[in-house]
Structure 1
Amino acid sequence: MVSSINQVTFDSRDGYALSLFWAKVTGYVEDPDDPNAPEHTECFIGPDGGHPGLLFINIPEGKTVKNRLHLDISPDTTRDEEVERLLGLGATIFEDHRKPDGTGWVTMHDPEGNEFCVERSKAERGQA
């Protein structure tokens, strides 16, 4: 027997706002049968509104330490183009691990400070 991942859950101060940010990052959408609203304490987005997806739950505490788990994303465009797009959406660069030969990644923070990494695209890794 095995278990499958149903969703990855983020504790957040404003789950609705964070779900909007991550929807723009991933292209995920809310469940059409249970749409998100600003007053909801839980907001879900997923591929075509389904699972596995991302769940954002409102909690009263703010983030205080580094996440023990984070997402690594691989863009459809280049890594550098995606970093610029994400900066425009409200992410910030935390650590830049890009190397002159084009390898490496960028560790970013989402608007609530959760870490995530932007890796090279499949095409950049020669896996197209």
Structure 2
Amino acid sequence: MLRLGFPVIGVTDVPRAVAFWTAALNLVENPEWAKDTWRTLDHADGSGHALGLMYSESPVERYPRLHLDLVVDTTAEQEAEIRRLIELGATELDWDRYPPNPDFVVLADPDGNPFCVVDLSVAPSG
């Protein structure tokens, strides 16, 4: 039976990416499949795999078709998490595709991979 696994991010510095993403999302490194070119990060509560980090020489895409959305429940949480992520090594991108009154802020991890921090309190309701 086909199942969806977990997202994998291409990175140029695997140890740096492990340090950033484990701190950013309270994940833990899983030694089971660890290699110089691969790390699996698990949820700290033991509920399973969360993220894969794979060495890649491919250039970062400015406008990736697939990216991570990290979500919070309030604007205050969004602001605090953005500050925390920047302290961990993320950068705020000069994003030229924001809609009017966006519910998200675009950051990049230390490898330059874009991701969003979304405030669910102002996200459009369906």
Distance 1:8 1:114 in 2: 13
AA aligned to 2:42 is G
Distance 1:115 1:64 in 2: 9
Q: Deviations for 1:2-50, whole angstroms, at most 9, x for unmatched residues?
A: x33222111211122112101111111112x5385xx721111021355
**Within the alignment, does 1:58 sit opposite 2:94 as a pair?**
no
**Percent of pairs identical after alignment?**
27
Report the counterpart of residue 19 of structure 1 in structure 2. Answer: 18
Match among 68, 71, 75 for residue 71 of structure 1: 68
Query: TM-score if structure 1 supplies the norm length?
Result: 0.74
Report the counterpart of residue 104 of structure 2 in structure 1. Answer: 105
Report the counterpart of residue 41 of structure 1 in structure 2. Answer: 37
Q: CA RMSD in A?
A: 2.8
Unaligned 5+ runs, structure 1: none
Q: Deviations for 1:65-107, whole angstroms, at most 9, x for unmatched residues?
A: 232210000136611111111111111111385977xx62101
Query: TM-score if structure 2 supplies the norm length?
Result: 0.75
The structure richer in strand per residue is 2
Report the counterpart of residue 29 of structure 2 in structure 1. Answer: 30
* Farther off after superposition, 44-53 or 5-14: 44-53
Distance 1:98 1:104 in 2: 9
- Total equivalences in the alignment: 117
Unaligned 5+ runs, structure 2: none
